[in-house]
Structure 1
Amino acid sequence: MKQSPYLKGRGAQQNTPNKFLNHIYEQRDDFLEFCRLEGEEADTNRTQYIPIFPKTIVNKVTSPDVGMQFSMNPYQGCEHGCIYCYARNAHEYWGYSAGLDFERKILIKKAAPELLEEKLKSKKWKAATIVLSGNTDCYQPAERQFEITRKCLAVFLKYRHPVGIITKNALILRDLDILKALSKNGLVGVNVSITSLSEETRRLLEPRTTTIAKRLKTVKVLAENGIPVNAMLAPMIPGINSHELLKLAQTVADHGALSFGFTVVRLNGAIGQIFTDWIEKAMPDRAKKVLHSIQDCHGGSLNDSRFGLRNRGEGKIASQIHDMAKLARQKYFSDKEFPKLRTDLHEQFKDGQMKLF
């Protein structure tokens, strides 16, 4: 089949088959030729916002590797289009592809703030940090229009409940007023994802994300306003960004981050095919080397489902990455500590206002 042109502004370059569906959709050469002759677009490459209506919004996290107890996601799918994103596979549960559909069909949960409030008011609920963006970025482009994340943060503040945030979008600074109020009570921690200091690398890996300069500014502004920041230098991809780990750690420390985390990339489920197709088109000169290096970190496979190892990796390359991280913590973070969020205030505000008696 004739190879399609590289889709600029997108991570995935194809729609992989959905493992839960019997039928496979593909674009045939004769259809593409018909569109050319008719002067029509075979693929508009536009983003669609699709409302969905979940009954609950807070998810219990059972994985021992993730480092969170509960998460919530105002959106499913993510227009940022990060090629390595582990969340891509979740889109298949909704009947879509983990490839381009994940970036172009964004599911919107408009009722998220009301569902969250219902959860926090429940007598059975005991306060524990709920992380926004456990799956997809809560500050992706859709948030500018729908403001679901901002409304959820207002609920957390109303009920004095701890909340964590993971994002790679500078849009979070729009909500600095609420974040400062939460931080004043020790109720918020922000994880800013920064995977490279190279804009060229960023554009290829994460095509619709905030620039590196704006992300570093975001870390600085948050820190200057007393909001604790952890930098997520993840994933480390051998042959693409792993050599930057020390410099990344130094840079985020200089901008005010109190800690950093990282993972060694793994390409689970459909992501292996999506990533392989992408790197052969985006970085053909180093594709084989990068893929072999990833396999070296996971016992010869692109995927790794072993708890305790899947995010850490193993082998010489993974060990080198961990050694760099250890050195970075000693050099740049020895006098820094990310605070534990408070859970003791929520019970007093169970009804949305402080109980006097």
Structure 2
Amino acid sequence: MLKGRGTDQCITNRFAHRTRHTIDDGWPVLDAAEDSAPGTTCTIETARSVITRNRSPDVPFQQSINPYRGCEHGCIYCFARPNHAYIDLSPGLDFETRLTVKTNAAERLRAELARPGYRCQPIVLGTSTDPYQPVERHWRVTRSLLEVLDACRHPVSLITKGGGILRDLDLLESLAADGLVSVMVSLTSLDAGLKRALEPRAASPATRLRVIRALRERGIPTGALIAPVIPVLTDHELEALVAAAAEAGAQEAGYVLLRLPREVSPLFQHWLEEHAPGQAEHVMSLLRQAHGGRAYDACFGHRMRGAGPWADMLEQRFRHALRRHDLVRRSQVALNTRRFRPPVPETPQQSLFPD
């Protein structure tokens, strides 16, 4: 495996017209650097729009924004990996090394919020790729979006497993003062070694718990998202993760069962054979039990939780853990939409009613 990367597989995307296969021709490798981990390449994208509308009945939000395509965290299980196929890149290594940055995202957001027909509803940042992945430190796209939302008093929710969110405490506090923000911190495992293998460049478990504590100390509504729950590897930690989140100050919690759509399934199974070969078949067997005999069931109502005896037991365990620690189940927080002030469109025309 490549150090600091979730996978070394550059699998062909499903839309590719050509495929390439690496074979050993017997000649020695002349350049040892070929085996080193590749760096991250960022391409600037001039977005025509940034707000995505959601119609999925099992997702508790209608609007979302993803500042980046691809994610440097490199989580091997990421359900968003197949999206890289739409830009003719590999859902494998390309997803975490070849990123697209929407540098004009704040400008487009301001224009979309200024439209006469815009109806204010909470916007979620971080639904496919993490808004606080490492490259955010340089590009600051997430920060620029929060600045627009704060100026317009527009409600926003964030989902992250990155410690970088603490950089934006000033904006989050301002939004929280009017009930305009909520944060969900993703927790996968309390085992730092397993975390490094599953999520090479994401924040450590201890850092994520510190993030929850720091946000709550500033009065920012914060919960924990136990995701993904991986049979055999992490499901035994479910109660401990809920307990740790509650101790850190989380107010709510949710969980999502491991999802393996399209190219993610072979990537994850390859990872299992390398990192947990003795448990690989057990992991996949339980997943298939929860998805009607398949590695993944994309049907609404089943894809997030699964079905069957094992999935039902997981649900019961989670409910009991919530009651034990006095947490509520994750839901879309009723954020305040009444404070919204549409931005004034930029125009050379002078106002008839100057300030």
Range class of TM-score, shorter chain: over 0.9
Q: Does structure 2 conserve the Cα–Cα contact (< 8 Å) formed by 1:13 and 1:277?
A: no
Provide the rounded CA distance (Å) in 2 between the counterparts of 1:99 and 1:350: 40
Matched residues in 1 for 2:125 and 2:206: separation?
Answer: 23
Work out whether 1:286 is the aligned partner of 2:282: no
Distance in 1 (CA, whole Å) between partners of 2:44 and 2:20 is 23
| Corresponding position of 1:237 | 230
Question: Where does structure 1 lack aligned partners over 5 or more consecutive residues?
Answer: 1-5
Segment drifting more, 40-49 vs 113-122: 40-49
Residue 40 of structure 1, CA deviation: 4.9
Q: Is the 8 A contact 1:190 1:230 kept in 2?
A: yes
C-alpha contact (below 8 Å) 2:254/2:330 kept by paired residues? no
2:7 maps to 12
Distance of aligned partners of 1:336 and 1:66 in 2 relative to their CA distance in 1, 3 Å threshold? closer
What amino acid does structure 2 have at the position aligned with 1:126? R
Equivalence for 2:205 = 212
Secondary structure (helix, strand or coil) at the match of 1:164 reads: strand
State whether residues 246 and 327 of structure 2, in contact with CA within 8 Å, keep that contact through their aligned partners in structure 1: no
Note if contact 1:238-1:317 (Cα within 8 Å) is conserved in structure 2. Answer: no
Q: Distance in 1 between matches of 2:282 and 2:27?
A: 35
Q: Secondary structure at the match of 1:234?
A: strand
Once residues 32 and 244 of structure 2 are traced to their aligned partners in structure 1, the CA distance between those partners, rounded to angstroms, is: 49
Task: Flag the 1:124–1:8 CA change in 2: closer, same or farther, 3 A.
Answer: same
Letter in 2 for 1:340: A
**C-alpha contact 1:159 1:351 (8 A) present in aligned 2:** no
2:174 matches 1:155:
no
What is the CA–CA distance in structure 2 between the aligned matches of 1:178 and 1:356, rounded to whole Å? 28
1:28-39 equivalent positions in 2, closer than 5 A: 28-30=23-25, 33-34=27-28, 36-39=29-32
Q: 1:102-251 alignment to 2 at 5 Å?
A: 102-251=95-244
Shift of 1:135: 1.0
Displacement after TM superposition at 1:28 (Å):
3.0
How big is the shift at 1:52? Answer: 1.5
- Structure 1 position 176, deviation (Å): 0.4
**Contact 1:13–1:99 under 8 Å retained in 2:** yes
- Write the distance in 1 (CA, Å) between the matches of 2:102 and 2:49: 10
Using the TM superposition, give the Cα deviation of residue 67 of structure 1 relative to its aligned residue in structure 2, in angstroms.
Answer: 1.5
Which amino acid in 1 is paired with 2:268? F
What's the offset of the Cα at 1:333? 2.4
Give the match's secondary structure for 1:250: helix
Q: CA deviation at 1:38?
A: 4.8
Q: Is the contact made by 2:189 and 2:241 (CA closer than 8 Å) also made in structure 1?
A: yes
1:345 to 2:339 alignment = yes
Q: Conserved in 2, the CA contact under 8 Å of 1:15 and 1:98?
A: yes
Paired position in structure 2 for 1:74: 67
Instruction: Report the number of matched residues.
Output: 347
Q: What's the secondary structure of 1:277's corresponding residue? A: helix
Structure 1 residue 336 displacement after superposition = 9.0
CA contact (8 A) 2:290 2:311 kept: yes
> CA, structure 1 residues 106+209, in 2 after alignment: closer, same or farther (shift >3 Å)?
same
Aligned pair in 2 of structure 1 residues 82, 40: CA closer, same or farther (>3 Å)? closer
Query: What stretches of structure 2 of length at least 5 have no aligned partner?
Result: 346-352
CA distance in 1 between counterparts of 2:50 and 2:251 reads 29
Q: 1:349 to 1:53 in 2, by over 3 A?
A: closer
Q: 1:131/1:113 Cα in 2 relative to 1: closer, same or farther (>3 Å)?
A: same
Structure 2 CA distance for partners of 1:130 and 1:280, relative to 1, 3 Å: same
Partners of 2:104 and 2:229 lie apart in 1 by: 35
Q: Using the TM superposition, give the Cα deviation of residue 231 of structure 1 relative to its aligned residue in structure 2, in angstroms.
A: 0.6
Q: Which runs of 4+ in 1 moved over 4 A?
A: 334-339
**Inter-partner Cα distance in structure 2 for 1:159 and 1:101:** 36
Provide the rounded CA distance (Å) in 1 between the counterparts of 2:55 and 2:266: 27
Superposition deviation, residue 266 in structure 1: 2.1
**What do the CA deviations read for 1:143-175 (whole angstroms, capped 9, x no partner)?**
000001001100000100001111000100001
Paired residues of 2:126 and 2:160 also in contact (CA < 8 A): yes
> Matched residue of 1:307: which SS?
coil
SS at match of 1:131: strand
Q: Give the whole-Å Cα distance in 2 for the aligned partners of 1:132 and 1:22.
A: 34
Which position in structure 2 is the counterpart of 1:3? none
Q: Percent identity?
A: 38
Match of 1:262 in 2: 255
CA contact (8 A) 2:2 2:37 kept: no
* Distance in 1, Cα, partners of 2:108 & 2:118: 13
- Matched-pair contact (CA < 8 Å) for 2:254–2:329: no
1:22 corresponding residue in structure 2? 17
Distance 1:42 1:201, change over 3 A: closer
**CA distances 1:11-45 after superposition (whole Å, capped 9, x unpaired):** 12312211111111333323x945x2355526652
Equivalent residue number for residue 313 of structure 2: 320
Secondary structure of 1:267 counterpart? coil
Match of 2:91 among 89, 92, 98: 98
- Rounded to whole Å, the distance in 2 between the matches of 1:334 and 1:174 is 27
CA drift of 1:93 comes to 0.4
